[in-house]
Amino acid sequence: MRVLRRTWFTIDTDDVRHVPSNQGHPTRSKPDETLPMISEQFRSGMKGLTSWLHGHEHPVTMFVIADQCESEEFVQMMNDLCSTFGERITIGCHGLHHRSWSAWPEDCEAFAQDLGASVSILKQHFPEHFKPWFRAPAGYVASWMIPVLVEQGFTVDSSINPSWLVNRKYGKGESWRTVNSTVNATQLVERAWKTRFSLPTCGPAQHIMGLRWNAKGAWKRLAKPLNVEEINLVEDSTIELDTIYWHVLDYARKDGTWSPPIKGL
């Protein structure tokens, strides 16, 4: 694999109602039906994201949960981003709902239906920005899901967190290595999340006590980000990229002043 010293910025659009403690997990979820379609934290996060995007010229890929498009306000917010930042915004699929697929029994048919519905919705609302790139909700991915992604026309998966600390997420008898091996036997391009010292650095790891010191250190040492003209290199398996992700909700932290700890931005 040819090394290109670049970093791919990705952002998940999960709202408060989507977190595994509330939705999508067979044992962790305790649904709170009073949670709104769009939280105030999310609105604050979108404002912070917009401000952050105005501060540089790099592209970002947003992994969207398709059920968020049931809200006209959400669709408008996303379209405003797309209109303002143009080709800098690409949109990938984060599922129809925030279902932790590998925590449930294997169900290829349901997963295929979920993907089909998600793609249809995202293409309808964001036709110029959608890419057939997938990220499993909460990183719950299993080997049985990979052939379904291929059959559904996806070209990139970015679900694997290559750390021993989260091997429980990959299903019974699996690990990140077994899932990665399954991907490598297909034409699907895997963009695993950046780790440091075999520990997670993305998403919640940026905030969890005991992990954040390492995560922040990793992000302060990132290579130059991809530019707009390079974004399609994400689909090129001969190019090695660092992939990092965080959440829209993160921008609501610190009274709306949070920004990703990336050197130079």
**Distance (Å, rounded) from C-alpha 6 to C-alpha 204?**
22
For residue 253, what pLDDT is reported?
97
User: Is pLDDT above 70 for 83?
Assistant: yes
Higher pLDDT: 69 or 169? It is 69
Q: What is the pLDDT of residues 103-143, one digit of tens each?
A: 899 999 999 999 999 999 999 999 999 999 999 999 999 99
Give the global pTM: 0.95
Query: HEC states along the chain?
Result: CEEEEEEEEEEECCCHHHCCCCCCCCCCCCCCCCCCCCCHHHHHHHHHHHHHHCCCCCCEEEEECHHHHHCHHHHHHHHHHHHHHHHHEEEEECCCCCCCHHHCCCCHHHHHHHHHHHHHHHHHHCCCCEEEEECCHHHCCCCCHHHHHHHCCCCEECCCCCCHHHHHHHCCCCCHHHHHHHHHCCCCEECCECEECCEECCHHHHCCCCCHHHHHHHHCCCCCECCHHHHHHHHCCCEEEEEEEEEHHHHHHHHHCCCCCCCCC
**Distance (Å, rounded) from C-alpha 186 to C-alpha 150?**
8
User: Is pLDDT above 80 for 57?
Assistant: yes
User: Is pLDDT above 60 for 263?
Assistant: yes
CB-CB contact of 219 with 262 (8 Å): yes
Query: Is residue 117 in a domain?
Result: yes
The number of CA neighbours under 13 Å toward the Cβ of 173 is 4
Query: Is residue 237 in a domain?
Result: yes
Query: Is residue 262 in a domain?
Result: no
For residue 40, what pLDDT is reported?
97
State how many domains the chain has. Answer: 1
For residue 2, what pLDDT is reported?
53
The whole domain housing 138 covers 2-256
User: Is pLDDT above 60 for 34?
Assistant: yes
Question: How far lies 254's CA from each of 44, 48, 88, 240, in Å?
Answer: 11, 11, 26, 34
User: Is pLDDT above 60 for 1?
Assistant: no
Q: Are strands 195-196 and 189-190 parallel, antiparallel or unpaired?
A: unpaired
**C-beta neighbour count of 79 within 10 angstroms:** 14
Q: What is the pLDDT of residues 205-230, one digit of tens each?
A: 999 999 999 999 999 999 899 999 99
For residue 151, what pLDDT is reported?
98
Tokens linked to 46: 């979108």
Query: Is residue 190 in a domain?
Result: yes
Query: Is residue 264 in a domain?
Result: no
Tokens linked to 64: 């969207």
Q: What is the mean pLDDT of residues 161-175?
A: 91
Query: Is residue 173 in a domain?
Result: yes
Q: Residue 240 belongs to a domain with what CATH number?
A: 3.20.20.370
Q: Residue 37 — pLDDT band, cuts 50, 70, 90? A: confident
Q: What is the pLDDT of residues 5-26, one digit of tens each?
A: 799 999 999 998 878 776 777 7
Tokens linked to 226: 């991809």
**Distance (Å, rounded) from C-alpha 161 to C-alpha 202?**
9
Query: Is residue 238 in a domain?
Result: yes
User: Measuring CA to CA, which residue among 182, 120, 125 is closest to residue 150?
Assistant: 182
Tokens linked to 40: 């105030």
Q: Residue 29 — pLDDT band, cuts 50, 70, 90? A: low
Query: Is residue 265 in a domain?
Result: no
Tokens linked to 86: 């143009």
For residue 68, what pLDDT is reported?
97
